[in-house]
Structure 1
Amino acid sequence: MAVVKSKLLKQLSDNYPNFLKKDLEKFTNIILSEIKRSLKRGDRVELRGFGVFSTNTQKARISRNPKTGEKVNTPEKKTIHFKMSKDLFKKINNNEE
Structure 2
Amino acid sequence: MAIVKSKLLKQLANNYPNFLKKDLEKFTDIILTEIKQALKRGDRVELRGFGMFSTNIQKARISRNPKTGEKVNTPEKKTIHFKMSKEMFKKLNNDE
TM-score normalized by the length of structure 1: 0.97
Indicate the percent of aligned positions where both proteins have the same amino acid: 86
Instruction: State the distance in 2 between where 1:77 and 1:22 align.
Output: 35
Aligned length in residues: 96
Counterpart check, 1:61 vs 2:61? yes
**Counterpart for residue 20 of structure 1:** 20
**Counterpart for residue 44 of structure 1:** 44
In the TM superposition, structure 1's runs of 4+ consecutive aligned residues that sit over 4 Å from their partners are none
Counterpart check, 1:79 vs 2:73? no
Q: RMSD of the alignment, in Å? A: 1.1
Structure 1, gaps ≥5 residues long:
none
Instruction: State the distance in 2 between where 1:51 and 1:7 align.
Output: 21
Instruction: State the distance in 2 between where 1:95 and 1:24 align.
Output: 33
**Partner SS for 2:93:** helix
Structure 2, gaps ≥5 residues long:
none
| Cα deviation code 1:21-63 (max 9, x no counterpart) | 0000000000000000000000000000000000000000000
TM-score normalized by the length of structure 2: 0.98
Alpha-carbon offset, residue 83 of structure 1: 0.3
Instruction: State the distance in 2 between where 1:37 and 1:66 align.
Output: 34
